[in-house]
Amino acid sequence: MNNLLRIRTLTEKFFDGGTTPEEEQELYDFYRQDDIPEDLRPNQELFKDLAALATLAPSNRVGAGSVPARNLAPHRRWWIAAAAAFAAVLIVGGGMIWRAGTESAPTRWDEDECVAYIYGKRVTDRDVVLNEMQNTMTAMTADGSDVVEEQLKAMFGN
């Protein structure tokens, strides 16, 4: 529990640009775990990516003589904090957009789906949905002639 409190505090401190490399390493280690609280999950990908990048740059490793963040100029700290926050928003936002896109893409579906959205109103009545589908398919197969004829009959019938 105390550890989680510390992680939350460190996370906030990180986004404020005030963490030391040791503290950042602590965050990387924490976010590397699979089982983390729901509210911290949006940050997980960001920290995983940052951890991966940290391993690529030897000079940034803990104890390798890097400069603690608190020694950075204030404007630079703000810039880093803003960039980190932007990255987090991009990751979470991008993920949400991607998820929304794949859910409604023509190639994604639920099992045995049968649903229509008629001008925004969800309709699950099987007969109504299948009737709509049948009419559309028939119209397409007949290149529109049936629909046009039906419309003309309806208009000039009597």
Partner 1 sequence: MKKLLLLFLMLAAGLCASAQTGLKINDLFEGRIVPQEKMVETRVRGKTLAKYQLTYYRSVRCTVTEQEAERLLQMVEADGKGHFARGSDKTSKKMYGKEHSLTFKTQVRKQDDKNCFLCYQAHWRGNTSEREVTVIYMEGSVRSLEELEELLK
The residues of the shown chain that bind partner 1, judged by CB under 8 A, are: 46, 49-50, 53-54, 57, 60, 80, 83-84, 87, 90-91, 94, 98, 100-101, 104-107, 109-120, 129-130, 132-133, 136-141, 143-145, 147-149, 151-152
Cα distance between residue 72 and residue 97, in whole Å? 35
CA end-to-end distance (rounded Å), the chain: 79
Q: How far is the CB of 46 from partner 1 (least distance, A)?
A: 8
Contacts with 126 (C-beta within 8 Å, 6 or more apart), sequence order: 114
Count of Cβ atoms closer than 10 Å to residue 55 Cβ = 11
- If the CB atoms of residues 35 and 110 are measured against partner 1, the closer one turns out to be 110
The closest of 60, 72, 74 to 24, measured between CA atoms, is 60
Give me the least distance between CB of 115 and partner 1, in Å please. 5
Alpha-carbon Rg for the chain in angstroms: 28
Which CB, 37 or 106, lies closer to partner 1? 106
| Residue with Cβ nearer partner 1 (71 or 104) | 104
CB of 67 to partner 1, least distance (A): 13
Q: Closest approach of Cβ 61 to partner 1, in Å?
A: 12
Alpha-carbon distance of 135 to 150, in angstroms, equals 11
